[in-house]
Every structure is written in C-alpha cells, then in structure tokens.
C-alpha cells in the first residue's frame, strides 16, 4: 500500500542534470554547485502503481514531491460531501505546495497510472532555499503560479457553461503537455470521465456528452481516453467566447 521505501541514489540515476524535465522543474536556473546540493536532498524516486496513494488526507506534512513520470490527482474529502478532485499533476509539477506551512495534508494524492515522483523533504528544502536565492525565487514562483491557476479555475467554475469548462480544460492540458515536450494535439487522458467531472463541477454524464458533441462538431477526436484536438481555434474561441457561439 505505502510507496516503496526510498533508498539514496547510488550513482547518477536520479541526477537532475540528466533528467529530461530538467528545464521545467523546480531547480530551474540553479548553477552547477547549487544543483548538486539540490540533488543531494532528493529522496530516490518513489514508484507508484495506479490508484496507489502518495499522500493521504490528514497525514503529517513532510515533503514536497515532483512528478517525474505518470500523473496523479488530488482529492479532498469534505464533511458529508463526496470526494472532490482538486488537481491533476503532470510530470514536472509539484505536489504539496498548498500544504507548506501546515502540519497536516489537507487532501489525498493518488496515482492515475504508474508514476515516479522525487521526494523533497521540506525542512531540508527550506534550509537549502535559505542559502540559494535562485531556489527561493523558484519556490515563490511556483506558489504564486499555483495561486493563479486556482483563480483561473474559480473563474471557470463560476458562470461558465459545461462546453466552456471542457474546452478550457482540454486546452489547459494541451498547453501543459506542450511545455513538457509532448504532443499538444494528441494525448492520453489518464483520468476517468468521473474525475474530470468532479474537477470541472459537472456530472460524469455531462462530460461524456460534451466530449461526444465536440467530436460530432469535428473539434476533437475521442476514442476512450485517447484524445486528438482537431480544431484548436474553434476550441479556443469556445473557451474564451462570451456566449458560446
């Protein structure tokens, strides 16, 4: 159930400089020496299987995690309410930023498929950030980028139609894949319709219908979880568009 125990890396398997995410990850912009120090605090990538939990709601907060491969979702269980998906994490993204400064994790994070993550024990990261202004800056940037992301999300959820939310969601994913060097037009949805629905505040049936409609209209192609964006501009103007027409 628990992620497999982390060993210290022997040679250079986990070295950041060798990592394909190097250019998109937390240590971005660190000089050679700084990068070495950063490397030194990383706990060997933990491997997670589908539906395995990385973090459980209520657990003591100890570490941030950077996704190395695979994807995860964060869910928050609130009183009497069914679980709500609040986040999807893709490679290069940081899990746990919203828990900094708190004693306990306020959501669970679960793998959507086989995944590897790098663990960054927070106290060690903090110590290091004290010495490395670059790293400090990166941390702040990540935190406030996250804030903006959430606010964008709030705007989506508030007063936008199912079509607009869905379009924004797909474009958002596309963009995230693009910046990570994957195809922005053809990708795999690692989350279920139900997860998407929970995230977007829609019933899973609605998600299914909207995707179907988008496909009919020739804007996308969907086959199960394989998605192709066929008319980027149409999606874009739908997402931005005031009304929807």
- Interface with a copy of itself by CB under 8 A: which residues? 76, 78-81, 84, 86, 97-102, 106-107, 130, 133, 136-137, 140-141, 143-148, 150-151, 153-155, 157-159, 198-201, 240-242
- B/e letters for 182-214, b = 16+ CB within 10 Å, e = fewer, are eebeebebbbebebbbbbbebeeebbbebbeeb
Cβ proximity to DNA: between 192 and 217 the closer is 192
Minimum CB separation from a copy of itself for residue 57, in Å? Answer: 12
Minimum CB separation from a copy of itself for residue 79, in Å? Answer: 5
The item of DNA, a copy of itself, none sharing an interface with residue 98, based on CB under 5 to 8 Å by kind, is a copy of itself
Minimum CB separation from DNA for residue 55, in Å? Answer: 20
Contact (CB, 8 A) for 199 and 206 = no
Minimum CB separation from DNA for residue 195, in Å? Answer: 7
The item of a copy of itself, DNA, none sharing an interface with residue 205, based on CB under 5 to 8 Å by kind, is DNA
The item of DNA, a copy of itself, none sharing an interface with residue 143, based on CB under 5 to 8 Å by kind, is a copy of itself
The item of DNA, a copy of itself, none sharing an interface with residue 212, based on CB under 5 to 8 Å by kind, is DNA
Cβ proximity to a copy of itself: between 133 and 218 the closer is 133
Minimum CB separation from a copy of itself for residue 134, in Å? Answer: 13
Contact (CB, 8 A) for 74 and 108 = yes
**Residues forming the site for DNA (CB under 7 A):** 50, 159, 161-163, 192-194, 201-209, 211-212, 222, 224-225
The item of DNA, a copy of itself, none sharing an interface with residue 86, based on CB under 5 to 8 Å by kind, is a copy of itself
Minimum CB separation from a copy of itself for residue 178, in Å? Answer: 20
The item of DNA, a copy of itself, none sharing an interface with residue 224, based on CB under 5 to 8 Å by kind, is DNA
d(C-alpha 57, C-alpha 228), whole Å: 34
Contact (CB, 8 A) for 65 and 125 = no
Cβ proximity to a copy of itself: between 80 and 224 the closer is 80
């Amino acid at each position: 159930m628990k992620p497999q125990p982390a060993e210290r890396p022997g040679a250079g398997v986990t070295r950041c400089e060798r990592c394909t995410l190097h250019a998109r990850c937390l240590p971005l912009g660190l000089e050679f020496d700084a990068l070495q120090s950063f490397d030194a605090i990383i706990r060997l990538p933990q491997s997670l299987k589908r539906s395995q939990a990385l973090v459980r709601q209520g657990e003591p907060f100890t570490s941030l995690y950077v996704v190395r491969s695979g994807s995860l979702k964060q869910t928050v269980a609130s009183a009497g309410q069914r679980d709500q998906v609040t986040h999807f994490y893709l490679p290069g993204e940081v899990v746990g930023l919203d828990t900094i400064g708190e004693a306990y994790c306020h959501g669970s994070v679960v793998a959507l498929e086989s995944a590897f993550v790098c663990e960054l024990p927070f106290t060690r990261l903090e110590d290091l950030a004290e010495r490395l202004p670059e790293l400090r800056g990166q941390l702040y940037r990540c935190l406030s980028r996250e804030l903006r992301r959430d606010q964008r999300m709030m705007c989506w959820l508030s007063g936008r139609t199912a079509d607009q939310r869905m379009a924004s969601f797909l474009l958002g994913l596309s963009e995230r894949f693009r910046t990570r060097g994957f195809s922005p037009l053809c990708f795999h949805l690692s989350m279920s319709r139900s997860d998407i629905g929970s995230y977007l505040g829609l019933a899973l049936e609605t998600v299914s219908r909207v995707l179907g409609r988008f496909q009919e209209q020739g804007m996308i192609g969907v086959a199960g979880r394989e998605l192709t964006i066929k008319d980027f501009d149409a999606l874009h103007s739908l997402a931005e568009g005031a009304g929807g027409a």
